[in-house]
Amino acid sequence: MARLKEIDRRKTFAIISHPDAGKTTLTEKLLLYGGAIKTAGAVKSNKINRGATSDFMEIERQRGISVASSVMGFEYRNFKINILDTPGHQDFAEDTFRTLTAADSVIVVVDVAKGVEKQTEKLVKVCKMRKTPIMVFINKLDRTGKDAFDLLDEIEQKLDIKVRPLSWPIGMGPHLQGVYSIYRKELDLYSGSVTDRVEEKVNIQDIFNEDMTEYIGEDAQDTLREEVELVESVYPEFNRDTYLAGDISPVFFGSAINSFGVQELLDCFLDIAPKPQPKQAEERLVEPQEEKFSGFVFKIHANIDPRHRNRIAFVKVVSGKFQRNTNYKHIRLDKNMKFSSPTAFMAAKKDIIEVAYPGDIVGLHDSGNFKIGDTLTEGETLHYKGIPSFAPELFNYIENGDPMKSKQLAKGIDQLMDEGVAQLFIRKLNGRKIIGTVGALQFEVIQHRLKHEYNATGLYEPIQLYKACWITSTNKEQLKEFISLKSRSMALDKFGRNVFLADSAFTIQMAEQKFPDIVFHYTSEWED
C-alpha cells in the first residue's frame, strides 16, 4: 500500500552537539548530498552570538532563521529525510529537549579536539531516557585532535553509552590520509580541498589487501591494520537491532567542512536508522501504520513580524495520513479544526502540502489555539506523552509596568507560555505571577517580545529560589499536611498542579525526609 511505503521511506532525526562542534556545517553537507541546496552557506547557523551585537538583535536574528531551518526535508536514495534543527545555545536547551520528542533517532557531533562537551552530555541523557538510537560523528579530523581510542573511551564514559566504530581514521590533522570504512570495507581517501564530494573511494574488502600500501604508504598501512584489529577485538560486532534498541552507537570519523566522511555517514544512516516509530499516548501505544491520522505539537513559532500575529505550530505526524482541508479534532479544546494551508519544510523553503505521512512535520498556521503538547486526531481521544517541562531554576515575579496595558500583558504572557518560552506559576500566598526558566536569556526574550509584539511592559522582581518542582502523593493526608505547612512556598502551574518552590537543595532534602510519601518531580511528566 502506498501509505505504508511512504512510512518506510521516512527518516526523521535531529543533529545535536555542543555549539561549534559542526552541527550547522554537517546539516549543510547532508543537504548538499541530497541536492536540496546547491551551494554551501545556504544553511544559517542558529547560534546566539553573545557580544557581537545586542542580545535583542541576536534573538530576533535567531528567531528569523529558526523558522526557515526548523525542519529541513530532502529526498535522497528514494528516502524522505527530515532533519530537525535544535538550538545550540544552552539557554534554549528546553526547546531542544522538546524537539527530540519528534525525532526517531539522533546524530551526535563531537569535535575531535575538544571531545565530549557539556551540552552534548545533557542532550544525550535525554535521548537515553527515551532509548532514542544514537549515531556519533567525530568531526574536524583535518585538525589534530585526541587519539581515536581515547576519544571513544571518553564518549563511553561521559555519555554513558556503548560505542562501535564503523570507520577508522588514517592519520589526523596535517597527516590525515583518509578513513577506512569498517562498514563498507573501503578506503576513503582525503584530498584536503574544500569543495564538495572530494573523497576518492577504493574498494579493498580486506585490510590485509596488498594494494593498500600503494594508497597510504607502508607505515600508515601497518598502523591501520593494527588499530582495526584492535577495534574488532575490543568492540562487539555491530548489530542493527542493538543500535535500534538504543544500546549501541555506531561511530564515524570525518571532516564536515571538507565534506569528508559525510556521505559514508549518510549512507549508513539510511541503511540502519529507524523509520517512524510508534508513540505512547496516555491511552495506548499508537503505531504509524494505523489508518487514522494523529499527531502532536512539539514546537510553536511566533511570527517575527508583530503586525502578523500568526504563529506556526509544528505537528509531528504519528499515524495515518494528514490531509489538507480535512477536519481533525483538537483534543484539548474538544473542537474540530481544518487547515487550508499546511506547510511542509523542504530545505530552507516552505511549501503548502496536500498530504503528510508519519515522520513528517507539518506547519499549521495558528491564531492562538495550540499549546505545546496538543494532540490532533480523527476523533479518538489521545494525549501524547513525552513532552515534558523541566523544573525551572531561575525565577522572577512579573509585574505590569504600564497600567493601561494590563490586558495586553496578560495575553502576551499567556501566549509566550503556550509557545514554551518559559513556565508560569501563580503563588498561592499572594496570587503573584512567577516566571520560571531554565536559562537566563529567556527573561530577555520575554521582556523584549512583550514590548514588540504585545506593546506591553513586563517588569521583573527577582526571587531567590532554588527550584520549582511538582509534587504528588498517593497519601492524601500527607499531601494536605505538606501543602498547609508549606503554604508560603506553594504555587500552581498552568494546569492547576501543585508546585513546591524550594529555596535550596537542603529544603528539598529535608522535605523528602519528613514527608516520605510525597514525590518531588523534576520534569512535568511522570509515571503515577
| CA–CA distance, 279 with 132 (Å, rounded to integer) | 12
Among 88, 171, 288, 363, binds ligand G4P (CB under 6 A): 88
Told to check if 24 binds ligand G4P by CB under 6 A, we report yes
Q: Considering the complex, what minimum distance in angstroms separates the CB of residue 50 from ligand G4P?
A: 13
Identified binder of ligand G4P from the candidate list 142, 186, 188, 227, rule CB under 6 A: 142
Question: Which grid cell is 230?
Answer: 584492535
Q: Is 89 in the site for ligand G4P (CB under 6 A)?
A: no
143 binds ligand G4P (CB under 6 A): yes
Residue 493 binds ligand G4P (CB under 6 A): no
- List phi, psi (to 5°) of 193: -100, 145
Q: What's the rounded Cα separation, in Å, for the pair 291 and 328?
A: 14
In angstroms, rounded to a whole number, what is the distance separating the alpha carbons of residues 458 and 398? 6
CA distances to 197, 390, 509 from 505, in Å: 53, 16, 6
**Distance between CA atoms of 377 and 181, rounded to whole angstroms?**
44
In which residue are the cell numbers 499527531 written? 295
Minimum gap (Å) between residue 194 Cβ and ligand G4P: 9
The answer to whether residue 408 forms part of the interface with ligand G4P (CB under 6 A) is no
Among 10, 16, 25, 357, contact with ligand G4P (rule: CB under 6 A)? 25
Is residue 294 within 8 Å of 375, Cβ to Cβ? yes
Strands of the 186-189 sheet, one edge to the other: 167-170, 178-181, 186-189, 200-203
Q: In the numeric block, which cell numbers belong to residue 281?
A: 499516548
Q: Is 44 one of the binding residues for ligand G4P (CB under 6 A)?
A: no
What sign results for the dihedral spanned by CA atoms 89, 360, 238, 262? negative
Residue at grid coordinates 593494527: 226
For position 17 contacting ligand G4P by CB under 6 A, the verdict is yes
Q: Is 162 near ligand G4P (CB under 6 A)? A: no
**Is residue 342 helix, strand or coil?**
coil
Nearer to ligand G4P, 45 or 242 (CB): 45
Which C-beta is closer to ligand G4P: that of 144 or that of 457?
Answer: 144
Residue with smaller CB distance to ligand G4P, 22 or 171:
22
Which residue, 138 or 416, has its beta carbon nearer to ligand G4P? 138
- Residue closer to ligand G4P (CB basis): 126 or 511: 126
518: which strand partners? 473
Residue closer to ligand G4P by CB (options 194, 440) is: 194
| Least distance to ligand G4P, CB of residue 182, Å | 20
Q: Which is nearer to ligand G4P, 140 or 405 (CB)?
A: 140
- What pairs with residue 201 in β-bridges? 188
**How far apart are CB 133 and ligand G4P at their closest, in Å?**
21
Binding mask 93-132 for ligand G4P (x = CB under 6 A): ----------------------------------------
Residue of 45, 369, 455, 472 interacting with ligand G4P (CB under 6 A): 45
Per DSSP (E only), the strands in 86-127 are 105-111
Nearer to ligand G4P, 42 or 410 (CB): 42
Count of residues interacting with ligand G4P (CB under 6 A)? 19
Told to check if 47 binds ligand G4P by CB under 6 A, we report: yes
Shortest distance, CB of residue 149 to ligand G4P, whole angstroms? 20
- Residue 83 CB, shortest distance to ligand G4P, in Å, is 12
Q: What phi and psi values does residue 225 have, to the nearest 5 degrees?
A: -60, -45
Residue 140 as a binder of ligand G4P (CB under 6 A): the answer is: yes
What residues contact 301, with CB distance under 8 A and at least 6 apart? 63, 66, 67, 70, 311, 312, 314, 419
Residues 242-301 that bind ligand G4P (CB under 6 A): 255-258
Q: Is position 21 an interface residue for ligand G4P (rule: CB under 6 A)?
A: yes
Q: Can you tell me which residue has the cell 514588540?
A: 452
Measured from the CB of residue 89, what is the shortest distance to ligand G4P in angstroms? 10
439 touches ligand G4P by CB under 6 A: no
Query: Does position 421 bind ligand G4P by CB under 6 A?
Result: no
Q: With binding defined as CB under 6 A, does residue 30 bind ligand G4P?
A: no
Closest CA to 98 of 243, 298, 257: 298
Let me know: does 180 contact 187? Beta carbons within 8 Å.
Answer: yes
| Residues in Cβ contact with 398 at an 8 Å cutoff, skipping those fewer than 6 apart | 413, 433, 434, 435, 446, 458, 459, 460
Q: How many CA atoms lie within 13 A of 153 on its CB side?
A: 6
Minimum gap (Å) between residue 24 Cβ and ligand G4P: 3
Positions of E strands within 271-387: 279-280, 285-286, 294-302, 311-319, 322-323, 328-330, 335-337, 343-346, 349-352, 355-356, 361-366, 375-377
Q: Is 458 in the site for ligand G4P (CB under 6 A)?
A: no
Q: Are 344 and 314 in contact (CB under 8 A)?
A: no
The residue (of 200 and 461) whose beta carbon lies closer to ligand G4P is 200
Question: Is 22 near ligand G4P (CB under 6 A)?
Answer: yes
Q: Which is nearer to ligand G4P, 259 or 447 (CB)?
A: 259
Task: Please identify, using beta-carbon distances, which residue of 22 and 359 lies nearer to ligand G4P.
Answer: 22
CB of 277 to ligand G4P, least distance (A): 26
Q: Least distance (Å) from ligand G4P to the CB of residue 189?
A: 16
Round to whole Å and give the CA distance between 342 and 287. Answer: 23
Please pick, from the candidates 8, 20, 287, 481, the single residue that binds ligand G4P as defined by CB under 6 A.
20
The answer to whether the beta carbons of residues 291 and 438 sit under 8 Å apart is: no
Question: Between residues 243 and 260, which has the closer beta carbon with respect to ligand G4P?
Answer: 260
Transcribe 481-516 into DSSP letters: HHHHHTGGGEEE-TT--EEEEESSHHHHHHHHHH-T
User: What span, in angstroms and rounded, lies between the C-alpha atoms of 501 and 227?
Assistant: 54
Provide the binding-site residues for ligand G4P, judged by CB under 6 A. 17, 19-25, 45, 47, 88, 139-140, 142-143, 255-258
